[in-house]
Structure 1
Amino acid sequence: MTKQALSNPITLRIPQEVLAEIEAIAETTERSRSWIIVRALKTYLMNEGADILAVKQGRQEIENGEYEDFDAVIAELKRTASEKAA
């Protein structure tokens, strides 16, 4: 397995109760605190972080005029549905 390139070390302060949970999970899973924190960050980035970036991209697309009028889309769907029903 190839080793991932790592950043320089970073320092952060977190609430004691969060650290206690991280340490309990690390001990239970026999993983390092760093491993647990990186996994938590990756999960955040895949979920909430991805949502935030998608909203940012959507706003940029709207600003660039890259959007469809909702009423026009609904009208097109209704027209297509009625053609298929006929």
Structure 2
Amino acid sequence: MATPLSDPIAVRLPADVLEGIDEVAAILDRKRSWIIVRALKNYLAGEGQYLRDLAAARKEAGTGNVVEGDQLLNELTDGLPLYGTIGR
């Protein structure tokens, strides 16, 4: 089943960005919109997801649900040999 589409939107782009989109579209024999949708999906999957995760973590930290750094380090390294003692 195809993904439902939104209403059309208008976006002004810097000329060099549009030239790049047109160049890639021509190479792939695709429409501009296909290139733009892929670029936006990649952005949202990477940096966009990072920003959403960061906002969620900040919200959770605001509720007091945090662990002190020393406590976290102790929990992560519990049972591990100390740095510098490996191989001795």
Name the TM-score class by shorter chain.
Answer: 0.7 to 0.9
The root-mean-square deviation of aligned C-alpha atoms, in Å, is: 1.5
* 1:78/1:44 CA distance change after superposition, 3 Å: closer
Aligned to 1:52: 51
Please state whether the residue corresponding to 1:72 is helix, strand or coil.
helix
TM-score, length of structure 2 as denominator length: 0.83
Distance in 2, matches of 1:21 and 1:78, equals: 48
Long gaps (5+) in structure 2: 82-88
Shift of 1:70: 1.3
Deviates more, 1:19-28 or 1:70-79: 70-79
Shift of 1:78: 4.6
Q: Which residue identity lines up with residue 37 of structure 1 in the other structure?
A: I
Please state whether the residue corresponding to 1:81 is helix, strand or coil.
coil
Percent identity over paired residues: 38
* 1:27/1:78 CA distance change after superposition, 3 Å: closer
Q: As a proportion of its length, which structure holds more helix?
A: 1
Long gaps (5+) in structure 1: none
Aligned to 2:86: none
Aligned to 1:30: 29
* 1:74/1:31 CA distance change after superposition, 3 Å: same
Question: Are 1:15 and 2:14 counterparts?
Answer: yes
* 1:40/1:78 CA distance change after superposition, 3 Å: closer
Shift of 1:81: 3.4
